[in-house]
Amino acid sequence: MAGRSGGNSEWHTETTAVHAGEFVDPATRASSPNLVMSVTFAPEAVTGFSARDEQGYEGFVYGRVGSPTVTQLESKLAALEGAEAALCFGSGVAAAHALICGRLSRGDHLIVPDANYVGIAELARDTLPRFGIEVSYVDVSRPEDVAAAIRPTTRMLWLETPANPTMKLCDIAELAALAHGKGVRDVAVDSTYATPIATRPLALGADFVVHSLTKYIGGHGDAMGGAVIGRAEELKALNLEATVHFGGVLSPFNAWLILRGAATLPIRMRAHEEAALKVARFLEEHPSVSRVFYPGLPSHPQHAIALRQMRNFSGMMTFQTKRPGPEIAARMVKDLEVIHYAVSLGHHRSLIYWIGTDDIQASTFRHDAGQLRRYRDYAGDGVFRLSVGIENAEDLIADLARVL
């Protein structure tokens, strides 16, 4: 775990992305970050054998507790979010699991969106109840529903904005104030879609930010990772609980790859947004497309929140088609030349995938009748989730036109 060493609060975002957490190696004078793959380190003082008993030693002892390359990435992430500290994990789900299970106990109550990233949605529905953590599923775009769901035992409100795959937004500042005002200890925001370039949830009142580093921050689809970002004291405790005891550590090699991706995040996000706006406008006018959800379009139901809360509209969108989605998806698999028909998102190349409502309801969301009705009103029989890369927008449009 690390704070903002190597950063400067007066730097602009582009400079922070390149330089925070990095330094010239004093021994070799290397300009780029070193890749330190060692699992164990030779301490310069006698220290305890357990991570609970490091006796104040600030250096590295064992890779599960801390690693030089991972620490550099944590410093960069903290600086990008304007936070005191960051803690990295082996995947985005590992980061979310670490935060939820590291902060909650049997009898605690958690509120999560009724439709959000499948890994967290399934964790909440399938795993947490087995350990006595109670979960409510709420449309967090409706503050009145969040207020009604809060109990005396509610310890955490989990937000995701924009949400995967619906592209719904929620007002972080309003919900954080609401939750804290009703005694909720933690407000956590999965900001993977937005990235620190678009939104800084901590500045809006959240306590923790979670990222799947596999997506935009890594940006190249070649390294998995996750991060929890927030206050130093809380993350220090979480490091012992979630990293040392749960063991979902980030490989130094993946940290090194993600460091490289994070350095170009600001310029990539500009390219993602520029191409996505053009693609979204094309789709909105296409006769085969019935609806497009992209925060940068005035037609998005929560465009006003996007204007207020996002400095970049990102490259994520979903859309519905007039013809059956599976039929078009089959054409995409066969005929797309530039866009890859594949899962995941936030990579330099464009990715698209069909998410059928019946399928995701059966596997993941399992909504009650009222929630299912609201989901279908929004998503219909399913949506195509499109992650717009940094290719030329005209090439992406031509690729989509061929299959639509």
pLDDT at 47: 78
H or E stretch at 212: strand 208-212
Contact criterion met (CB below 8 Å) for 267 and 139 = no
pLDDT at 104: 96
Q: Say how far apart CA 18 and CA 2 lie, in whole Å.
A: 17
Nearest to 388 by CA among 346, 341, 342, 358: 346
Contact criterion met (CB below 8 Å) for 131 and 104 = no
pTM for the structure as a whole = 0.93
Strand order in 134-138's β-sheet?
85-89, 226-230, 208-212, 186-190, 154-160, 109-113, 134-138
Quickly count: other Cβ atoms within 10 Å of residue 370's Cβ. 10
Contact criterion met (CB below 8 Å) for 252 and 36 = yes
pLDDT at 320: 97
Q: Is 221 left (phi over 0), alpha (psi -120 to 50) or beta?
A: left
pLDDT at 332: 98
Q: Which residues contact 162 (CB under 8 A, 6 or more apart)?
A: 168, 169, 193, 194, 295, 314, 316
Quickly count: other Cβ atoms within 10 Å of residue 105's Cβ. 11
Q: Say how far apart CA 365 and CA 375 lie, in whole Å.
A: 10
Strand, coil or helix: 32: coil
- How is residue 287 written in tokens? 């006769």
Q: Say how far apart CA 153 and CA 155 lie, in whole Å.
A: 6
Mean pLDDT by 10 residues, the chain (404 residues): 56 95 92 91 75 67 88 97 97 96 97 93 94 96 97 98 95 98 98 98 98 98 98 90 86 97 98 98 98 98 97 98 96 98 97 93 88 86 97 98 96
Per-position DSSP letters for 338-389, written without gaps between them: SSEE-S---SSS-EEEEEEHHHHIIIII---HHHHHHHHHHHTTEEEEEE--
- How is residue 295 written in tokens? 């925060």
| DSSP code for 140 | T
Strand, coil or helix: 134: strand
Where does 24-167 have alpha helices with state H? Answer: 68-81, 92-103, 118-122, 143-149
| DSSP code for 62 | B
Nearest to 188 by CA among 104, 299, 75: 104
pLDDT at 59: 78
Contact criterion met (CB below 8 Å) for 36 and 69 = yes
